[in-house]
Chain A
Amino acid sequence: MSRPRWFAVRQDLSPSRKRLLGMTAFLLPLLLWSIVSYVPFIWHPNIKVIDPGEVSWLRPGLQIPRADFAKEVATAQATGARVPTGERANPIYLPAPHSVARALYTAFTTKPVLRGDLWLHESLAMSLKTIFWGFILSSAIGVPLGILCGAFVSASRLTEPFVDFVRYMPAPAFGALMVAVLGIHLEPKVAIIVIGTFFQQVLVVANTVRKVDCSLIEAAQTLGAKRRQLVLRVLLPASLPDLYNDLRILLGWAWTYLIVAEVIGVSSGITFFINQQAKYRNFDNVYAAILIIGFIGLATDQILAWIGDRLFAWKNPRPSRVRTFVTRLFAGRDVLLFPDKPTA
């Protein structure tokens, strides 16, 4: 018996190796980031001035490119003036991991700069509200329509060419229009998410329903199922696990449109927070906010996947709970996208 190999074409890995690789996937970028931040001779293209010496335009704390600083030092030496000193630093837009980690907490306690601006948690709540309504509205129409298109060719021919056409129009292009029609507050933002999600949703759902094995329909027909029953008792339950996964993926899509939606009309939500913090050059808060979006996305997706596994137990043998959760968390997209593959 040879030892299982790390690189074998289309061969599964053991769960422990999958976990290990999954964790490395997160640790590797973090390591890279740490090296660039903490090892002074790597990158650090700027000099942060400590003592301006006798160079008039330098101030303590100012960052300038290394070449410019060297030039100033050279001129100062040539004229015999006091030489400025400084230390190598990374640009302000790349804060070190520890300051971002700190910001994950302090971002919530950073007072809004202007009166009327929102705190981080308020911004987040607003974003979640926007995405919730956008996704619910889109799904309420998109899913049934997609199922109809998947079930009936006539419905598909009637809607899909047009849907396919609109799908190519970038949702942000409707921004100005939506503001004109729906005002400047929540409504146009929800509308952008709906426009961004809905048309994809119809096509994706229709495709999923079409993928249901035709022989199941035939079997149901020989058992006396009529049109309505074929849709509701066969097509729908047969495609439900895949539909559920489609919706999870589309929810990720909706998050992308959120960022666009939030800058139209009155800028709001997490995007406003990020823009505002960037304006005041609090880049650690910017990173923190982006990371928080990532965490929220990952967490919702994992929770939905976990619920899905329990809802559709007929698809998988029931796995042990905690273990699968951890495996899934680090085992990567293949488990997220194709959950009917055995996970353990």
Chain B
Amino acid sequence: MVKTSDTLLDHLRPSPVVAARFAKIKERPVVLEIDRLGRQFPGEHGPITALRDISLQVHRRELVCVIGPSGCGKSTLIRIIAGLDDPTSGRMLVDGKETSGPCPERGMVFQGYTLFPWLTVKRNVMFGLQMAGRPASEAEREARQWIDLVGLSKFSDNYPHQLSGGMKQRVAIARALAPNPRVLLMDEPFGALDAQTRAQMQSHLLEIWRNVDVTILFITHDLDEAIFLADRIVVLKANPGEIQEIIEVPVPRPRSLDQVHSPEFQATRRRLDELIHPKLHTPAEHLPIIRLTQAGDDVE
């Protein structure tokens, strides 16, 4: 597939079917709105701005990915939305109501699993339901359904240490979904998994999302993951963390792994690459101190 980048980037323009889908999504109510959100940390030489003027509207049942170079504040952003950190300016609205602090309407899946190791899979999933004051029998029935949905019914009485990384993260997803959140926040949830498991989990997440009425905000540093999952991709830039661009992913749904080679996918990939690694597209200069390896033959 030899194409100049210009014609490749033409594929960023969505096809009529995809465009119609975006139009429909935009008609849906806004579930999560953040308005000129900013976060400063005290530093040795005055405050350091981690996030500046982040404004974003996420519609119902939309899947939005946030990507950016390391240190751009994507984790800070999701922690603020989860209520685990406070913004220094701006506000956040869920279903049009201003909100702050942690709350089960904004569920979270962490990179480090964070399952409660002393509880079985079932009891982990029941945790949020019980916090909401639901009676144990009802919570148990409901938890079982969520465990079925993530495909772990055989393991509902196992402890987390008996599960693999992928399974743990599925439990974490079930646990976060059980209290019926409006928004599911996912902070690099598959970052610690190996490539194969990660691909499985991505497909699995899309399948869950198809069946559940939930809006997802997903943070990742993996460009392919973002394109594969997202309706829209928010690209952040570092120092200070600001929104650089919001890209509507032109890859049609339902998504499958074959689409990785489609021109739409590749075009999006190229565009993201340019935004995130602008330096990679200019030839690098090596410092004289680096000794380049020479095997002694001409094979490169």
Contact = CB atoms under 8 A, between A and B. Distances in A.
Interface of A: 213, 215-216, 218-226, 229, 233-234, 237-238, 240, 312-315, 317
B296 to A, nearest CB: 33
Interface string B69-95: 000000000000011100000000000
B103 A216 contact: no
B29 interface: no
The main secondary structure of chain A at its interface with chain B is helix
Contacts of B108: 218-219, 222
Contact of A224 (B112, B117, B132): B132
B114 interface: yes
B108 to A, nearest CB: 4
A314 B161 contact: yes
Contact of B107 (A215, A222, A314, A317): A222
A52 B84 CA distance: 88
A316 B179 CA distance: 30
Which of B106, B107, B127, B159 is packed against the most chain A CB atoms within 10 Å? B127
B128 interface: yes
A238 B84 contact: no
A344 to B, nearest CB: 15
A201 B164 CA distance: 37
Interface of B: 82-84, 102-104, 106-108, 110, 112, 114, 116-119, 127-128, 131-132, 159-162, 175-176, 179, 185
B104 A224 contact: yes
Contact of B117 (A220, A225, A314): A314
Given A216-B116, A221-B84, A314-B160, 6 more contacts: A218-B84, A219-B110, A222-B107, A222-B176, A222-B185, A317-B161
B223 to A, nearest CB: 26
B161 A215 contact: no
Contacts of A229: 131
Contacts of A224: 102-104, 128, 131-132, 179
Given A229-B131, A314-B159, A223 B117 contact: no
B116 A222 contact: no
A233 B130 CA distance: 11
B118 A314 contact: yes
Most chain A beta-carbon neighbours within 10 Å: one of B83, B108, B112, B117: B117
A221 B161 CA distance: 22
Contacts of B82: 218, 222
B114 A215 contact: yes
A238 B114 CA distance: 12
B114 A223 contact: no
5 contacts: A213-B114, A222-B176, A226-B131, A314-B119, A317-B162
Contacts of A313: 159
A223 B84 contact: no
B104 A215 contact: no
Contacts of B179: 223-224
Nearest to A234: B116
Contact of A223 (B128, B159, B160, B162): B128
A220 to B, nearest CB: 7
Given A314-B161, A315-B117, A222 B127 contact: no
B104 A223 contact: yes
A215 B110 contact: yes
A313 B161 CA distance: 11
A238 B127 CA distance: 14
Contact of A237 (B103, B118, B185): B118
A343 to B, nearest CB: 15
A234 B114 CA distance: 12
A226 to B, nearest CB: 8
A234 B116 CA distance: 8
